[in-house]
Structure 1
């Protein structure tokens, strides 16, 4: 029966109307997967020696176990956005003499063979081989690897449950931030508490039964849920849902831009992909901790310019690069109405401007690591406001690929074209080159001043730049409408 299901899925893949169009992208994803495989294997092989060199008086297995709690939570968090739940058209199968249990087992089994599960194995199996080559007990290492596999499968099936709830994602992200904060500021020894738990999986081989039991339990919970949902008339049942509306009355102060701002805010909140972009942008405010806390980066001042542009402009990049593809579902309708295109673009610029200011305010605590960091972030924020916002709106006029907001958030590549890769050069590369040049030629103060002046000049030319961008959108209007109508691009 499973061979029959696999054959059906393979035929659906080959006969898909988008197979030919997405073939190049699929080939690129295969090469990306190979690169990920090589990278993870390399890290797995070198992890033992890295831990041995960094902590010469500690057991590498013990040091790895101390951080395993973060791995579990981060793995679950990123799967929420990245991993697509396996689906298949089961309505036609339900009318045939096929057991519902077989269909449910196939869906769950197919999920167990996901590439996301293999990522962890590519890391832990080479690490286990290195442990064996260094004289670690064979039984302990092998059963520890079985425990890791069971934990991965448990995470995989727990993702089935939490993926249906945005609240679960917020809770998991909050737990990661709270635990890291408590541990970093030494309010609570998180690693010391969870370290013995995960190290026990290696030290006491009998404990392998715990993760195996959890994996089986999560499988059975999902199996019962799927089996109870597989009914042919399930789609005929009337769905009732409490209607929740938000008038966003405060946006009316923006005049003619208010309707567009309301549309954008509602779209961000109601759709998984846009909501994911917003949450990811907020999480990247902690990106500075990776660099500001490391002495090795203390003399790499241009790196701080990268951080300033990146952290204050992360939403600008994530959201702005797909303007106006976010509205592709109704863009042709908007363009057929008497809607001022200039106000439409101004609303996008205003929304992104608010995000830049918000992200800068969130980075103010980095002044703890030095006032120069805050000054660089301030200059970067001004540059993003005055230069990068008009630039990213201009590049948006070349977007012609449709985005279906009902699709999985980050796992799919809808709306992505060469523009999204080329835009990185002027948006991120140009300000870093300018900062680096003036930093080495004069000083860090001069480099910050130049970035700030460029942003202020952009503000001064705002109306002229927006007029030019509006004319560009008018020239590209019909090509964009035609592109957005192609649903399989």
Structure 2
């Protein structure tokens, strides 16, 4: 316990001493505000369900317990954008006489005790207060809350295992897909699925304080704990010791020689392609983006789940913007690993910015092509897809590229488990929110006032305007970057992994 408390104290000190600490204050405020909003939202739903289900033949808490497996699956999905693998830096402690297993245990303990695992209690506690107290009193509410918390801790370690494996190999994505696919078949294919009855019995056991219900969940938590420790120990060892996978045979190495004809811009486009396709962190992000865009495009094209105009517009904007947000929000941060070399040549940063803009603009063809089935089936129009593609490459990329002036934190290219993953700066969070929210709001307002055809024309004109003037505003970004170059260089050097 002393080691856990000491590492926790070191982590807080490291956060406060980080050069980006002051810039993260706005981001933390925004996260606290959103957390309060969703807490109120869950309280509202818990209270609403308690009264709305009171007229059914079964008690409301029994009906909710029957869907506990579905809630756990939803919790698993929600964790992806908000929860990362444990980020306590281990390197400084590996030289000390501390067992590696104890360090990993501290990381797992901190993850299990995270306040994120308590968040669903904002839904279950109001529900239990209204429905459970009539039969089991306050004691039933307390034991039920403890049981739900244990279920969320179990789900936390299951998510942690899947996320760690998926970060290492994208093929591990099939593990949760297979598990939840099997659970879905077991739930909905039989007319009277025993899993619903099992979930109801487990929830009843929590309420009545049944020792077997609690012990069964605790046993699963302990098993997942040891599996996580074993997996993390092997991956951390490989990462820290730079162990390469010698079983993979490199058949060919592409040098992208077709870019030679573009001179210096082509060289920097080659550098960007190698950065995206040869580094562990960038490859994982790129694969995730393609999978998400492919999934959304497939659902939109071949199902009627998202047939409303609002959801169609949201998916179309998301597919275009997500690629830029994932990589351009941290523009120049990956280059922070070798920024000194880039700064040694006059106007090399300007050439790099132009190469990035050209490459990411061409990359918009990927979501455009993936949404072709939606255009063929009539879910989306060709003009609207083209309009949003041009608007993204023009206006939205113009906003995202402004971060090249202010980003001064180096992001490691290959380190995952041993890299401290900090939240984005306030400016990054603000631009990220604006890149999603403002285009949707603009599209909604313009369609009401001017109609769809006029809206598409406006988007095309605005997008083309920014694209055709890209040399000028990229030059402006370059000059502003050079005015801040010493401050940025200091930030890049201070935040590098050592």
* Same topology, TM > 0.5: yes
**Residues 1:315 and 2:323 aligned together:** yes
What residue ranges of structure 1 are gaps of 5+ in the alignment? Answer: none
Alignment of 1:28-427 (within 5 A): 29=28, 32-33=31-32, 36=35, 39-40=38-39, 42-44=41-43, 46-47=45-46, 49-50=48-49, 53=52, 60-61=63-64, 64-65=67-68, 67-68=70-71, 70-71=73-74, 73-74=76-77, 77=80, 82-86=84-88, 89-91=92-94, 94=97, 106-133=106-133, 135=135, 145-158=145-158, 161-166=161-166, 170-171=170-171, 173-174=173-174, 189=189, 195-202=196-203, 206-221=212-227, 239=243, 241-242=245-246, 249=254, 251-255=256-260, 256=263, 257-269=265-277, 271=279, 273-275=281-283, 277-282=285-290, 284-285=292-293, 293=305, 298=309, 305-337=313-345, 340-367=348-375, 370-372=378-380, 375-405=383-413, 406=415, 412-413=421-422, 416-424=424-432, 427=435
1:83 and 1:123, CA in 2 relative to 1: closer, same or farther beyond 3 A?
Answer: farther
**How much does 1:397 deviate?**
2.7
* Per-residue deviation, residues 260-280 of structure 1 (Å, max 9, x unmatched): 344334433555653454355
- Between stretches 127-136 and 366-375, larger displacement belongs to 366-375
| C-alpha distance in 2 between matches for 1:483 and 1:316 | 23
| C-alpha distance in 2 between matches for 1:51 and 1:170 | 41
2:447 maps to 439
| C-alpha distance in 2 between matches for 1:83 and 1:102 | 17
1:67 and 1:236, CA in 2 relative to 1: closer, same or farther beyond 3 A?
Answer: closer
1:27 and 1:311, CA in 2 relative to 1: closer, same or farther beyond 3 A?
Answer: closer
Larger RCO: 1 or 2 (CA < 8 Å, sep 6+) = 2
1:20 and 1:435, CA in 2 relative to 1: closer, same or farther beyond 3 A?
Answer: closer
| C-alpha distance in 1 between matches for 2:366 and 2:418 | 23
- Between stretches 272-281 and 210-219, larger displacement belongs to 272-281
**How much does 1:316 deviate?**
1.1
TM-score (norm 1): 0.74
* Per-residue deviation, residues 182-223 of structure 1 (Å, max 9, x unmatched): 9999x9749986545534422566554432221122234456
1:379 and 1:54, CA in 2 relative to 1: closer, same or farther beyond 3 A?
Answer: farther
**How much does 1:459 deviate?**
3.9
1:128 and 1:377, CA in 2 relative to 1: closer, same or farther beyond 3 A?
Answer: farther
2:492 maps to 484
Question: Is the Cα–Cα contact under 8 Å of residues 117 and 153 in structure 1 kept in the other structure?
Answer: yes
**How much does 1:447 deviate?**
0.6
TM-score (norm 2): 0.73
| C-alpha distance in 2 between matches for 1:456 and 1:230 | 47
Instruction: Find the residue that maps to 2:337 and give its secondary structure.
Output: coil
| C-alpha distance in 2 between matches for 1:190 and 1:337 | 68
**How much does 1:66 deviate?**
5.5
- Between stretches 404-413 and 207-216, larger displacement belongs to 404-413
Q: What is the Cα-based RMSD across aligned positions, in Å?
A: 5.0
**How much does 1:336 deviate?**
0.6
1:18 and 1:360, CA in 2 relative to 1: closer, same or farther beyond 3 A?
Answer: same
1:14 and 1:252, CA in 2 relative to 1: closer, same or farther beyond 3 A?
Answer: same
| C-alpha distance in 2 between matches for 1:354 and 1:378 | 13
Question: Is the Cα–Cα contact under 8 Å of residues 306 and 432 in structure 1 kept in the other structure?
Answer: yes
* Per-residue deviation, residues 148-198 of structure 1 (Å, max 9, x unmatched): 33333333344554454336774564566689999999x974998654553
